Amino acid sequence: MSNTNLSKFPVVVVIGGGFGGIEVVKQLADKPVEVVLIDKHNYHTFQPLLYQVATGSLEAESIAFSLRKNFSSQKNLRFRNTEVTHIDTATNTVDTTIGSIKYDYLVIATGSTTNFFGNKEIEHYAMPMKSIPEALNLRYLVLQNLEEAILKPSKEERASYLSFVLVGAGPTGVELAGALAELRNHVLNQDYPELTKEEMKVYLVDFLPKVLGPFSDEGSKAAQDFLTGMGVELLLNVKVESYDGNEIKFEGGKTIHTKNVIWSAGVMGVIPDGIAKEGIERGNRIRVDNICRMVGSNNIFAIGDVAAMITDETPKGHPGVAQVAIQMGQATGKNIIRLLREEQTVPFKYNDKGSLATIGRNKAVADLGKIKFQGFFAWLVWMFVHLISLMGGRNRVVVFINWVASYLTYNGGTRLIIRSFKREELVQKDEQVSKPD
Q: Which residues have a catalytic role annotated?
A: 175
Q: Among the residues of 207-293, which ranges form H helices? A: 217-229
Q: What is the DSSP code string of 202-229?
A: EEEEESSSSSSTTS-HHHHHHHHHHHHH
Dist. CA 23–CA 320, nearest whole Å: 16
The 8-class DSSP code of residue 150 comes to H
The 8-class DSSP code of residue 58 comes to S
**Listed residue (182, 180, 198, 189) closest to 142, CA to CA:** 180
Instruction: Classify residue 299 as exposed, middle or buried by CB count within 10 Å of its CB (0-12, 13-18, 19+).
Output: middle
The 8-class DSSP code of residue 415 comes to -
Dist. CA 246–CA 349, nearest whole Å: 46
Evaluate whether 177 touches 232 at the Cβ level (below 8 Å).
yes
Other beta carbons less than 10 A from residue 251's beta carbon: 11
Dist. CA 60–CA 134, nearest whole Å: 11
Other beta carbons less than 10 A from residue 432's beta carbon: 8
Dist. CA 204–CA 221, nearest whole Å: 15
Q: 294: helix, coil or strand?
A: strand
Kindly state the greatest CA–CA separation across the chain: 74
